[in-house]
């Protein structure tokens, strides 16, 4: 006898609860497998669920609960700044905190045509969003991993964004080509290596190269700050996402490199240090 949709939802929720996972993920997975909106799902709860969809859902529930595979990798996408981005095991899953980084860049950067580079682009979420929100900007995206750039390029194609992609280490591709930019934005790896074992098993399934920022979490900021003078224009805006407690250290690095810059440490919606922004010249 076939199961009703609500029975499958109850089973998945219970399975997640028993294995210490968010129960809400059950609805997310179910909607994906049934290709339904939330309203459609709740209108159909007493309908029977076809066996093939049920078996596929159960397999994904077990992958998330027992193997700790992120839901976003199972369904293949995540939403960011009102758009849907393809994600897989080659890229970091975009977070709401990074939407705040994008919002600050959009609010603070002058609106006339600018050149912008997103360093460590991953899925391309930052670069693509900036390109789509400001079509007159010339946007570059850099990543050290070819597998990540493939995802970014696919996202740009699907969303209709015009971004120039480079494979390389931090700002090296810009330095080699002699390209200067008005905005540098980056969400680099900033978790100290010793903290990785304390992360949730689900987060540990994301690419370590996108998580680990050296012994103290600040390695990539040091390297970026050394490269910045070769790339930025004289009135540039620099915006970094950071981990909580890293604000003062990153601010100091930027102030030492650009003594006349105005540097702010900004807090996210949860009250944690999240963004460091430097203006190299006042407007």
Query: How do residues 215-261 score in pLDDT, each as one tens digit?
Result: 899 999 999 999 999 999 999 999 999 998 999 999 999 999 999 99
- Global pTM value: 0.93
Look-up of token digits 């609010």: 107
Give a yes or no: residue 74 inside a domain: no
> 156 and 44, same structural domain?
no
Q: Are residues 142 and 194 in the same domain?
A: yes
**One domain, residues 41 and 141:** no
On whether 188 is known to bind a ligand per the annotation, the reply is: yes
Are 97 and 165 part of one and the same domain?
Answer: yes
The answer to whether position 95 is within a domain reads: yes
In a domain, 268, yes or no: yes
141 is in an annotated binding site: no
Quote the number of domains for the chain.
Answer: 2
Q: Is 190 annotated as a binding residue?
A: yes
123 annotated ligand-binding residue: yes
Tell whether residue 48 is among the known ligand binding residues.
no
Would you say 270 is a known binding-site residue?
Answer: no
Q: Specify if 165 maps to a domain.
A: yes
Q: Is residue 63 part of a domain?
A: yes
131 and 256 part of one domain: yes
Q: Residue 283 pLDDT > 50, yes or no?
A: no
Burial annotation 118-128 (CB, 10 A radius, 16+ → b, else e): bbbbbbbbbbb
According to the annotation, is 198 in a ligand binding site?
no
C-alpha to C-alpha distance for 141 and 22, rounded to whole angstroms: 33
> How far is CA 273 from each of CA 90, 106, 111, rounded to the nearest angstrom?
27, 19, 26
113 is in an annotated binding site: no
pLDDT at site 72:
96
Residue-number span of the structural domain to which 204 is assigned: 80-279
189 marked among binding-site residues: yes
Are 124 and 154 within one domain? yes
Token pair for 99:
């939407």
Q: Confirm whether residue 271 is marked as ligand binding.
A: no
Q: Is the pLDDT of residue 76 over 70?
A: yes
| pLDDT score for 179 | 97
- What is the rounded CA–CA span in Å between residue 271 and residue 34? 37
Please write the tens of the pLDDT for every residue from 198-224: 999 999 998 988 888 988 999 999 999
Judgement on whether residues 117 and 174 belong to the same structural domain of the protein: yes
For residue 1, the model assigns a pLDDT of: 65
Q: Residues 25, 144: one domain? A: no
């Amino acid at each position: 006898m076939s199961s009703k949709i609500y029975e499958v939802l109850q089973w998945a929720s219970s399975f997640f609860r028993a294995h210490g996972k968010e129960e809400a993920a059950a609805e997310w997975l179910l909607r994906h497998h049934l290709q339904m909106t939330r309203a459609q799902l709740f209108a159909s709860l007493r309908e029977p669920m076809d066996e093939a969809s049920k078996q596929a859902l159960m397999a994904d529930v077990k992958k998330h609960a027992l193997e700790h595979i992120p839901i976003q990798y199972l369904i293949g996408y995540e939403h960011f700044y009102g758009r849907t981005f393809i994600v897989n095991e080659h890229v970091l899953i975009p977070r709401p905190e990074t939407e705040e980084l994008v919002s600050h860049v959009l609010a603070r950067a002058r609106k006339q045509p600018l050149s912008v580079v997103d360093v460590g682009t991953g899925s391309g979420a930052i670069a693509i969003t900036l390109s789509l929100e400001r079509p007159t900007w010339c946007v570059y995206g850099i990543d050290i991993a070819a597998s990540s750039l493939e995802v970014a390029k696919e996202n740009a194609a699907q969303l209709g964004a015009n971004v120039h992609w480079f494979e390389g280490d931090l700002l090296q591709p810009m330095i080699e080509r002699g390209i200067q930019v008005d905005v540098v934005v980056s969400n680099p790896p900033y978790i100290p290596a010793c903290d990785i074992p304390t992360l949730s098993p689900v987060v540990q399934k994301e690419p370590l190269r996108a998580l680990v920022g050296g012994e103290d979490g600040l390695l990539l900021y040091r390297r970026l700050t050394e490269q910045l003078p070769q790339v930025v224009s004289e009135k540039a805006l620099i915006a970094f996402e950071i981990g909580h407690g890293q604000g003062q250290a990153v601010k100091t690095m930027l102030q030492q490199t650009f003594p006349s810059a105005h540097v702010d440490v900004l807090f996210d919606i949860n009250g944690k240090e999240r963004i460091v922004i430097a203006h190299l010249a006042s407007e």
